[in-house]
Structure 1
Amino acid sequence: MFACNALFRTVYRKPIPAKTPNRYFWGWINMMFNRVDKDRLKMVGPDRLCAEWLLRNGAKAKFVNVPQMQINYNLLPSDTVPVLIEELDGTESGIMHIGFDHLKGLTRLRKVKLHKCVYLEDQALAKLKFVADTLEELEVSSCKNITDAGLLHLKDLKKLKQLATYDLPYVKDIQVVESSLKQALPGCRMDLKS
């Protein structure tokens, strides 16, 4: 009995090792939810696949001729029903820059809202070029990883009519960014704050 108690004390009195951060695990999971499935793309097309990506990651999509935003992955129309995305709302979602490859092939996306997207980085804004022919309205706000360089990627969005930014702590010189964007996009109304 004594030996058993001594063993118990030695085994259970050892310091418990600190938990290893599981951030990498969740980052990997998020990357899997954001990557483009090329086989599925061939089956359902870019708009349906983009909607699946958005909803799987907690974002919202609005389809052409449908009045309400689609928020529930399980309520997406059948694969056989064609859909066209006209609005994307990424508020508080898990969308990442690698997922923005889903924008390739979209022909009707005109409005994008990126608010409190914790995984969003400058590369995502660069990939908005995939919808440069249709994108008219853009909001980028409370995305803590966006920098001046990321906002300067927006110069390629020649159809942009409205741009708003705020609460972007890593944007250091919003006046320089605004001046550059106004030169590149003279027809765009801008409300830029960092």
Structure 2
Amino acid sequence: MPQRWRAQGGSGFWSGLAVESPSRVDYERIRDFGPDRAASEWLLRCGASVRYQGYERWQQDYNGLPPGPLGKYKIQAIDATESCIMYQGFDYLDGLEHVEEIKLRKCIYIEDACLERLSKTVTLQESLRRLEIISCGNVGDKGIIALHSLSNLEYLFLCDLPGIREKQKTLELLQKARPTLQVELDLV
């Protein structure tokens, strides 16, 4: 996993180096290289995969990110299975206009605040069609209910989410807010 190094105070060679957190948002990078490139870099550094519009192959290797002119590669799908994405990096999702599908599987840092933030991302409200949330233990009723803001969401798959305490009530609230949304549940 590529990492950036920066100098820090202290004594000795090793104390002068520190690894930047992959969740620290680099707003200059977003501005200079565009939201899709910056988000791709963040997602891949965190262990997720992306698929670009017009391509079948999933990009998994940070060092293999395709070169090209600014804006050439637009993220269409994100697979964050077992990645370390967390709330602090969600600003990278702002401005992604072509994301139709997101898979959050076994993401230990995903919590209600992440889903609320995702739901408030204007571009995702318009583009996101499919969402899977599986085995994310910190997701509860509040986060699932917040998904009603994703106005074009067509399919939601929820599985193994022990944080959802009021399954029936949560589902009813979501379905009332979004009657056309197809929700598939496997919440034991």
The answer to which structure has the higher helix fraction is 1
**1:141-156 → structure 2 map (5 Å cutoff):** 141-156=134-149
Tell me how far 1:193 sits from its aligned partner: 3.4
Moved more, 148-157 or 73-82: 73-82
Tell me how far 1:192 sits from its aligned partner: 2.3
Partner of 2:173: 180
Letter in 1 for 2:156: L
TM-score by length of 2: 0.84
Tell me how far 1:182 sits from its aligned partner: 0.5
Structure ID, larger Rg: 1
Alignment partners' CA distance in 2, 1:121 and 1:79: 35
Letter in 2 for 1:166: C
Q: What RMSD, in angstroms, separates the aligned Cα atoms of the two structures?
A: 1.6
1:183 aligned counterpart, secondary structure: helix
Alignment partners' CA distance in 2, 1:36 and 1:64: 24
Alignment partners' CA distance in 1, 2:66 and 2:32: 15
Change beyond 3 A, Cα 1:178–1:96: same
The answer to which structure has the higher strand fraction is 2
Structure 1 runs of 4+ aligned residues shifted over 6 Å read none
Partner of 1:85: 75
1:65 to 51, 54, 57: 54
Does 2:152 align with 1:159? Answer: yes
- Structure 2 alignment gaps of length 5 or more: 1-18
- Structure 1 alignment gaps of length 5 or more: 1-28
Measured against aligned partners, the alpha-carbon deviations of 1:23-70 in whole angstroms (never above 9, x if no partner) come to: xxxxxx7x8211210111111100111111110000010000111111
Letter in 1 for 2:154: K
Aligned residues: 166
TM-score by length of 1: 0.82
Tell me how far 1:79 sits from its aligned partner: 5.6
2:175 touches 2:181 (CA, 8 Å); kept in 1?
yes
Alignment partners' CA distance in 2, 1:63 and 1:47: 9
1:174 touches 1:193 (CA, 8 Å); kept in 2?
no
Alignment partners' CA distance in 1, 2:125 and 2:185: 20
Tell me how far 1:153 sits from its aligned partner: 0.8
Alignment partners' CA distance in 2, 1:154 and 1:133: 12
2:180 aligned counterpart, secondary structure: coil
Tell me how far 1:127 sits from its aligned partner: 1.6
Partner of 1:12: none
2:30 touches 2:92 (CA, 8 Å); kept in 1?
no
Alignment partners' CA distance in 2, 1:153 and 1:66: 31
Tell me how far 1:121 sits from its aligned partner: 1.1
Alignment partners' CA distance in 2, 1:50 and 1:185: 28
2:118 aligned counterpart, secondary structure: helix
